[in-house]
Structures are given as C-alpha cells and as structure tokens.
Homo-oligomer: A and B are copies of this chain.
Amino acid sequence: MSLKQIAKSLGLSITTVSRALNGYDDVAEETRQRVQAEVERSGYRPNAMARRLKMGKIDAIGLVCPVSSLQHDNGMLLEMVTEISHELARKEIDLLLIADESETGSGNLKRLLQGRRVDAFIVAHTLRDDPRLQLLQQHDFPFIALGRSELARPYAWFDFDNHNGIQMATNHLIALGHTRIALLKEDSPQAYVSQRHQGYLEAMSAAGLEVLPGDVITARNSRLFGYRAAQTLCAGSNRPTAIVTTTNMLGDGAAQALDELGYLDGQISLIVYDGLPADSLITTDVSAIIQATRHQVGQQIATMALELLNGRPVSELQVLWQPQLRLGATTTPVVR
C-alpha cells in the first residue's frame, strides 16, 4: 500500500495523489474524491518512517521516568502518562517511554537525543539539580520539565506551587492557634520536596513560631513509614498539636496511626498533601491540599508539548498551577 500503488491504480502521478491527500488546492475536487475513495478502499496509510525521514520531524515525544520514581508513587505518574499518551495519539504523535537506569542517569537519554528518535522530551520527577535537564539544555534539545529545577537558561516547565500550597496549610493551622506543627516529609531529592519543606519553614518563621528539632521528620514515601513517624511524633506527652504531610502515602499512614490512638477526631490536626489515596481505610474526611486531577495535568502537559513542537518559545511555556486547601474534619482549633 504505497502512494505509488494508489497512483498507478488511478492512473495518476504520485505527486498528485500526495497533494490530494495533503489538502493542496491545485488538485481538482473530482480527483481528490477519487483518491480519497481509493485510499479508503485499499486501507492505505502513509508510511510513517518515510514521512519522518523526508520531513525531518519525528512526531514522537520521549517521556523520561527514572526507575526509582515509578515504584513509589502509586500510579500517580501513570494516570498522567495515560492522559498524555491519549492526547498525543490524537495528533498522531507517539510517546516513547524511557526508563532511565538511575535517578540521574542519562545514558538512554543521550542515545535517543543523538539518534534523533524523538522531537522533544518530557522529563518527569525533576530534581533540584537535574543532570538530565542540564544535558538537554546543553544540546539545545526541546523539553518540558515536570517540576522546576535550577538551570542556566529559561526552559519549559509545568509545576504546582508547592511553596504556596504548604504555606496555606501551615498558615491555616497557625490561624487556628496551633504552635507545634509537625511536618512529615518524603526523603527524596525531587524538587517539590524541598519547595514544600521551605514553604513550611517560612510560614512558621513568619509567624514567629519555633520548629522543634523532632518536628520535621523525613521518611521514605510509604504508608508504613508515615504510620511509624506519626506514632513517634505522638509518643511522648510533649507532642505537636498538628501534623502536615507532604504526600498522600505518608498521610494515609499518619492518619491510620492517629486513628488508632484516637487522635483523629480533632485532638491532633492533620492536613495531607494530595488528600488520602482512594483506597484508604480511613473514613474520616481528612483536610487536604489538593491539586488538579491527573487528567487535567496530563492534558495540560500534552498541550504544552504540542506547542513546544510548534516552536512556541519556552518563555511562554512556564505554567504554575495553584493548589487549594480543602478543609475536612481534621483541622480544628488547637486543643490544650
């Protein structure tokens, strides 16, 4: 099924068939109809590789996911990826999956970059100092970073305002009279972690509140570690009156621990970033900092990727979305 065959069976030239299919106006309407009909009859589809070679565009985007991230984030990234894949498929653009061997590895990245196998990259789980982004920028290769990093020149990125999100939560607790607010944060070099950490510290400091040494706990991002950390926090009599967690997994574990201790009724306030996971066993309506759905994020990123391919300057491709504070039953005035 090539252009040549279609052309032959219609008694036309390859040129004309090609131009008919690509909507040029120098082909008679009747001819176009005939071509269209023959294409449908024969099930012809243009050879993507020939077109790519000729056009110098690949119509493919590489999605870079470090291996380690996939394991912990409970499918969050993947729902997004699904959406991105969908949106791109609509424009006949392929999505290549690049699982890098280490959080910072870029062996495969380099290969795809130099082999011209994709038009652009989407880099997930951006680090604060990200060698992958540095490599891409160094090669002037188009990319979109999911999360902000530190780079010499401007670049395209999508991010949530983590700083503001955690501040809204912390400030709300402060307004409720809390002075001992603990932070339960993920142990990871990802950019958003330090942004949330920083936001918390600044909110506390701005309110003139001291952060006690044990009140910031860094743990692996899992339910179990959240559970244990919350238990530790609540162990002594000198416990904090509120806890904020930077991930929903940590939050679910913490909620479970508080629930078992009977503190989830408002005794100890709790705000969970992203809200409890859908299959949490906790039925209490836990207060949360919520971001847009993966669905919405995926669409946004796909849109940005397409605009990047269309040559939109990166300075116009920097999108910061604001999270919202959704108050549930676990944020109450401080109990002394």
Name A residues whose Cβ lies closer than 8 Å to a Cβ of B: 43, 45-50, 52-53, 58, 63, 65, 67, 70-75, 78-79, 81-83, 85-86, 89, 92, 94-99, 101, 108, 111-112, 114-117, 222-225, 227, 249, 253, 256, 278-281
10 tightest Cβ-Cβ pairs between the two chains A and B: A222-B279, A85-B99, A82-B99, A223-B279, A49-B53, A45-B114, A49-B52, A224-B279, A70-B78, A45-B115
Structural contact, A222 and B117, CB atoms closer than 8 A? no
Q: Which residues of B contact A72 (CB under 8 A)?
A: 75
Q: A81-B97, A99-B85 are in contact. Are A253 and B281 (CB under 8 A)?
A: yes
Q: Which residues of B contact A67 (CB under 8 A)?
A: 82, 86
Structural contact, B79 and A108, CB atoms closer than 8 A? no
Q: Which residues of B contact A278 (CB under 8 A)?
A: 222, 224
Q: Which residues of B contact A117 (CB under 8 A)?
A: 48, 94
Q: Which residues of B contact A46 (CB under 8 A)?
A: 115
Nearest-Cβ distance from residue A38 to partner chain B, whole angstroms: 16
Contacting residue for A281 out of B73, B94, B115, B227, CB 8 A: B227
Contacting residue for A71 out of B79, B94, B95, B112, CB 8 A: B79
Structural contact, B63 and A85, CB atoms closer than 8 A? no
**Please, which residue of chain B has its CB at the minimum distance from the CB of A77?**
B78
Structural contact, A279 and B70, CB atoms closer than 8 A? no
Structural contact, B96 and A96, CB atoms closer than 8 A? yes
**Please, which residue of chain B has its CB at the minimum distance from the CB of A277?**
B223
Q: A70-B78, A223-B280, A281-B253 are in contact. Are A96 and B99 (CB under 8 A)?
A: no
Nearest-Cβ distance from residue A99 to partner chain B, whole angstroms: 4
Q: A96-B96, A111-B89 are in contact. Are A224 and B280 (CB under 8 A)?
A: yes
A293 vs B2: C-alpha distance in the bound complex, in angstroms? 45
Contacting residue for A97 out of B85, B112, B224, CB 8 A: B85
Q: A67-B82, A281-B224 are in contact. Are A96 and B95 (CB under 8 A)?
A: yes
A98 vs B89: C-alpha distance in the bound complex, in angstroms? 8
Structural contact, B81 and A99, CB atoms closer than 8 A? yes
Q: Which residues of B contact A280 (CB under 8 A)?
A: 223-224
Structural contact, B47 and A53, CB atoms closer than 8 A? yes
Q: Which residues of B contact A111 (CB under 8 A)?
A: 89, 92
Q: Which residues of B contact A82 (CB under 8 A)?
A: 65, 67, 70, 99
Structural contact, B115 and A63, CB atoms closer than 8 A? no
Q: Which residues of B contact A249 (CB under 8 A)?
A: 279
Nearest-Cβ distance from residue A135 to partner chain B, whole angstroms: 13
Q: Which residues of B contact A281 (CB under 8 A)?
A: 223-224, 227, 253, 256
List 20 extra interface pairs beyond A74-B74, A253-B279, CB under 8 A. A47-B53, A47-B115, A65-B82, A67-B86, A70-B81, A71-B79, A75-B75, A78-B78, A81-B99, A82-B99, A85-B97, A89-B108, A96-B96, A96-B97, A222-B279, A223-B281, A224-B278, A224-B279, A227-B281, A249-B279
